[in-house]
Structure formats: structure tokens, C-alpha cells
Chains A and B, each alone.
Chain A
Amino acid sequence: MRHDHLISAAQLSRSDVEAVLDRAGDVADDLGASRDSCPGLVLGLCFFEPSTRTKMSFDAAAKRLGGSTIDMGSVESSSVTKGESLADTVRVIEGYADAIVLRHPSEGAAKLASEFVDVPVINAGDGAGQHPSQTLLDLYTIREEHGLDDLTVGIMGDLKYGRTVHSLASALANFEVSQHFISPESLRLPRSVRFDLHEAGAQVREHTDLEPVLSELDVLYVTRIQRERFPDETEYRAVAGEYQIDAETLAAGPDDLTVMHPLPRVDEIAPDVDETDHASYFQQAHNGVPVRMALLEMLLENHG
């Protein structure tokens, strides 16, 4: 992988993805071998928005590599509330850290940050934009279960604001994957994502119901529909209920269907799914650490 920063899944070619996943596989096979592969690494965790899992996953990855992390703390307690710009914040942290992991509520924040610093910037979620390190662990999980070609993937839920969806769809376009998008009309994929998929020649279909496509799927990637996207509770209830799955729903699907979710889930996947062989979301979360270890190693190598 020849990149200085990881801003968007769109920058990743098929060979970039394969290189990271191969490396992550090696790391996962022998966690001890990567221990201390980046001694002295100081990773800056800049989370302008709360995220327990992604932050802990990067924290664990840096520490397993023999490095350490520094954390700007919550936004409320930082100088951001005094009106400091993002450009200033990252330029200061660049002096403290060898790489920066950025989570920010505005789309394009990581791209902007990368223009102001020389250390690698990893986008850990920018508003409704992108979340490419999540995508790498999603792809790792899919590859473990099914391989990444000749595959049919269903992506369901909030496709409009779901950054994990935007990144995943874009990365899957590198492979022989038929993509089915299942969402309420009001939460369908944004024009920009549809444009990219079209340009990439991806096989894409959009649906409002899961039922007609369920039997074709190898993977069902579920995301949460957020209450705050709807003007009132009743409207949210009416829509969200349509996109919840349980063990009974999945009984109509293929036996080897893999169910994924970027977590945290609320009620879109019923707890009875956890007991089935379909449930892969906890394994998916565990895969975050070796994937992020591989990613950090590779970005730091590129950086020299």
C-alpha cells in the first residue's frame, strides 16, 4: 500500500486492500511476532466525537505494537470549545505524535487535517462521510468467511448517513461483488456514493425490503437507523421496525449467511441471532485490532 494517509476507502485499490488484509492475517496468526514492531510509536487519538470501540481498538493496536497513545480527551475539556480550528489542533498534535487518528463530526475533516500535517492521518469517521479502517476490518471478516470475489452482499439500514456503509460499498467495488442496498426511501445511498459505484462499474441494486433478496445473500451487513434522522418518534418506529432482523427472519436465508454489524447495535439485530451461526459481529469487532496493527505498521513504513 502506497499511501501517506488513510482518508477514504475510495483511495484503496484492490491490491492495497489485499496487502493490508494479508498483513493483518499474519499479525492475527502470531500476535507475538508483531509485539514491539513499532517501538516508541506515539499515536495521537483525536476524537472530537465520542467513540469507545474505535478508540480502544486503535489504543490496543498501538500498544500491542510496542507503542503508546496520547489522547486529547473529551471535546468539552479541550481547547476546541474555545474555538480553536481543527487545522490548528492537528498542527499542534503533529508535534507530539507519529500518527494521528481522527474522529470528527464534519465530513471532510480528515482530508483537511491531512493537508496540514506531515504525519500519517487515519480517518476514524468523519460525520456521515467515511470510516475506512472499519471497512478494512469488515473486509477482513468477509474474506475469512467467504473470500472477496463471486459474492453477494446485502447492506441494510441507514445508507444515507452511514459512513461505514459508504466506505464498505466503495471498497467492495474493487471485487467481483454484487451489492444490494436495502433501506427506506428516505435513507437511500447519497448521490456521491451511487456515482462512484456507477463509475467503478459495480453491480448494484437498491431495495426497500430485505425479503426478496435475502435468499441470494452471502453477507448481510446491518446498520442502525438513528432516531434523530426522523421528525417524530412514530415515523421512526414505523420505519425502523421494517429493518430489524431476528433468528426467524434469517431462517429464510441461506444456511451460511454471515450477519455483520459495525456495532453498537440497538434493536436492529435481536439477541436470538447471537446464538446462530450467522452472527459474526463480535468476531468482526475483534478483527479490528490485528487489522489496525497492520495498517499502522504499513503507514509508518511508508512514512519512513
Chain B
Amino acid sequence: MSDHQLRVSKIRNGTVIDHIAAGQALNVLAILGIDGSDGHGVSIGMNVSSDRLGRKDILKVEDRELSQSEVDVLSLIAPEATINIVRDFDVVEKNRVERPDRVSGLLSCPNHNCITNADEPVETAFDVISDGVRCNYCGTIIHEGIAEHLAVE
């Protein structure tokens, strides 16, 4: 194990999300709804050096394994991320994230005139396209800065 990875201590059980684009670690936590309030240990490494990405962020979340829908969501802002499930200090699963076809209820539409921004009883839905994500209602494409449109509190 190289030096920079040692900056964040090893965990016994939980998930290590590695190769997050530099600066996106806090957005990833926001998406996953992790704020430390449930008492699980959370370690954050930001701007650590990486052979693959130059600079990257890394997260270690103790006693928590990600669900598939959480992984889908993660893929939108951290497409290069790898997810390592750790049990008893061993990595038992190592997965790359995969982009889903659609995400629902996760992003808000940047088009202020979109019907999903009116007071209607619907969840937003975005199709994942080569160019970014696209609102299923008004067609608006979010090309970059997807994390800025996260509909998380």
C-alpha cells in the first residue's frame, strides 16, 4: 500500500470509495446522505495524488455497504470511482461504477420553467445520455456540473 493511502486509516468493515474526481468527495457524501450523524466512522481524503487521475478524493465509510441504487447515483458525479467492500479488513468486492439509464428523484431540473419545478406531485427523472443527463419532462440537458443540481437536503 502506498503512502498516500495510509493517510486514511484502514477500516474493519464498510465501504471504500476510491478514485472520486478531486473535489467531489463532499458531493458524494451528500448524495449518499452520509453526515456522520448515525455514529459510523467516516474518513475523507481530498486531493490525494493518484496515478490514474492525478488528484483524487477517497472516502471510507465504516459499517455501511452501498446499495445498487446508491452506486448508480454515484456514477453520475464520480464515473471513475471504484467501490471496495471491506469485511474484516479484507476487500471482498471491488467494483467500478456503471452509469444507469435513468435516475429518478435525485436531481432538480435547472430549467426554472420546467413543470417539475412547479408544485406538482411528481419526482424528477433524468435519462443518462452521452452528453450528460436529460430531463424527462422538459428535455433540458445538464452537460456539466451535475452535482450542483442534486436535490438532496
A106 with B115, Cβ < 8 A, contacts A129-B139, A192-B140, A195-B129 known? yes
Q: Is A70 an interface residue (CB 8 A)?
A: no
- Chain A residues whose C-beta falls within 8 Å of the C-beta of B111 in the assembled complex: 107
- Chain A residues whose C-beta falls within 8 Å of the C-beta of B134 in the assembled complex: 192, 195
Tell which of B115, B131, B140 touches A112, judged by Cβ atoms closer than 8 Å.
B115
Distance in Å: Cβ of A179 to nearest Cβ of chain B: 18
Q: Is A67 an interface residue (CB 8 A)?
A: no
A8 to B122, CA, bound (A): 19
Most chain A beta-carbon contacts within 10 A, residue among B135, B139, B141: B139
Question: Do A192 and B115 touch across chains, with their CB atoms under 8 A apart?
Answer: no
Question: Do B114 and A107 touch across chains, with their CB atoms under 8 A apart?
Answer: yes
Closest CB pairs A-B (n = 10): A108-B137, A107-B138, A108-B115, A108-B138, A192-B139, A106-B115, A109-B115, A112-B115, A192-B141, A111-B137
Distance in Å: Cβ of B38 to nearest Cβ of chain A: 35
B window 119-137: CB within 8 A of A? 119-122, 129, 131, 134-137
Number of interface residues of B (CB under 8 A): 21
A111 with B115, Cβ < 8 A, contacts A129-B138, A129-B139 known? yes
In chain A, what residue has the closest Cβ to B135? A108
Question: Do A87 and B114 touch across chains, with their CB atoms under 8 A apart?
Answer: no
- Chain A residues whose C-beta falls within 8 Å of the C-beta of B143 in the assembled complex: 191
Distance in Å: Cβ of A82 to nearest Cβ of chain B: 12
Question: Do A85 and B137 touch across chains, with their CB atoms under 8 A apart?
Answer: no
In chain A, what residue has the closest Cβ to B117? A106
Distance in Å: Cβ of A256 to nearest Cβ of chain B: 34
Main SS of the interface on chain A?
A: mixed
- Chain A residues whose C-beta falls within 8 Å of the C-beta of B114 in the assembled complex: 106-108
Q: Is A86 an interface residue (CB 8 A)?
A: yes
- Chain A residues whose C-beta falls within 8 Å of the C-beta of B131 in the assembled complex: 191, 195
Q: Is A127 an interface residue (CB 8 A)?
A: yes
Question: Do B116 and A108 touch across chains, with their CB atoms under 8 A apart?
Answer: yes
Q: Is A128 an interface residue (CB 8 A)?
A: yes
- Chain B residues whose C-beta falls within 8 Å of the C-beta of A8 in the assembled complex: 139
Question: Do B122 and A115 touch across chains, with their CB atoms under 8 A apart?
Answer: yes
Mark A62-98 against chain B: 1 for CB-CB distance below 8 A, else 0: 0000000000000000000001011100000000000
List 10 contacting pairs A-B, 8 Å CB cutoff, sorted by A: A8-B139, A85-B118, A85-B121, A86-B120, A87-B121, A87-B122, A105-B113, A129-B139, A190-B140, A195-B141
Most chain A beta-carbon contacts within 10 A, residue among B111, B115, B135: B115
A107 with B137, Cβ < 8 A, contacts A85-B121, A127-B113 known? yes
Most chain B beta-carbon contacts within 10 A, residue among A8, A112, A127: A112
A112 with B120, Cβ < 8 A, contacts A106-B113, A107-B111, A195-B129 known? yes
Distance in Å: Cβ of A113 to nearest Cβ of chain B: 9
A107 with B118, Cβ < 8 A, contacts A128-B113, A192-B134 known? no
